[in-house]
Amino acid sequence: MSATVDTANTREAPTWTSMAIDRVRVELKEFLRTREQMVFVFLFPIMLLLLFGQIFGGQELGDTGVTFAQYFLAGMIATGILNTGFQSLGISIAIDRDADALKRIHATPLPPTAYFAGKLAQVVFVSVVQLAILVGLGVAMYGVSLPPDAGHWWTFAWVFALGTAASVAWGIATSSLLRNAKAASAILTPVVLVLQFTSGVFVVFSQLPTMFQTFAEFFPLKWLAQGMRSVFLPEIFASQEVRSSWEHPVTAIVLAAWAIAGLAIAVRTFRWMRHDDN
């Protein structure tokens, strides 16, 4: 009888997969219930796309036939990935830590990897929905063409994957380096704004001062935006880039390096408890 009971209990024990799936559900529910976060993640880039599209959308960039709205769409897709994976995630984890939610989660049988899998799945889901909305608006309102062949979609897939990995890794890492949620919001928002203005999101990258270009090349957003431009803009526009090329190999290396570095720092520094806890 004892062996039978033990076998039944063993069979009923949750697996890592089931716990990770449950955590994904929790993360999505919490995100959907947080109106402020939804407004920032979804409405902010949409609002910017519509605003800049109406003001500058019809202006053509050189003799490429590319309008500013088309150029701006690629930048908003890139910055949407960064906002969701880096800024929004970093702030949300810092809020959970301040509220002792992380401490309670850490005290449960939930494996840490399942917790982070839930966070990653939530970021991917939100990013995909946000991207679909942005592309839909770009096609419907500004005549943006979808990638014409499998090669462009493959480029989109690996740029999206590496950009998301780098953003999530640094979102997790940064959440532990900041002392509290207030500091997270106050520091991460200006950081993202600086990167947006220097990485060719709001202004054509090749028209920025050389000092800004050099600064931006050290950070992932510039390469993420350039990778997305190579997907959604015609090949002729590559000649308008600083080095007259999409630089796909460099883009992959830089994004992968940031993802690996962020993961290494996150593993070494992540905190389940607040900084002022003993």
Residue 95 lies in a domain: yes
Residue 103 lies in a domain: yes
Does the pLDDT value for residue 16 go beyond 70? yes
Give residue 180's domain range.
15-269
Residue 3 lies in a domain: no
Contact criterion met (CB below 8 Å) for 275 and 179: yes
Q: What phi, psi does 67 have (nearest 5°)?
A: -85, 160
pLDDT confidence of residue 6: 53
Residue 33 lies in a domain: yes
What b/e readout covers 137-153, taking b as 16+ CB neighbours within 10 angstroms?
A: bbeeebebeeeeeeeee
Q: CA-to-CA distance for 137 and 125, rounded, in angstroms?
A: 19
Average pLDDT over residues 102-119: 88
Residue 9 lies in a domain: no
| Tens of pLDDT, residues 40-62 | 777 778 888 888 777 775 677 77
Residue 277 lies in a domain: no
Residue 172 lies in a domain: yes
| Tens of pLDDT, residues 158-213 | 999 999 999 999 999 998 887 777 777 788 889 999 999 999 998 889 999 999 99
Residue 1 lies in a domain: no
Q: Is the dihedral of CA 268, 165, 214, 248 positive or negative?
A: positive
Contact criterion met (CB below 8 Å) for 104 and 110: no
- The count of other CB atoms within 10 Å of the CB of residue 48 is 19
Number of domains comprising the chain: 1
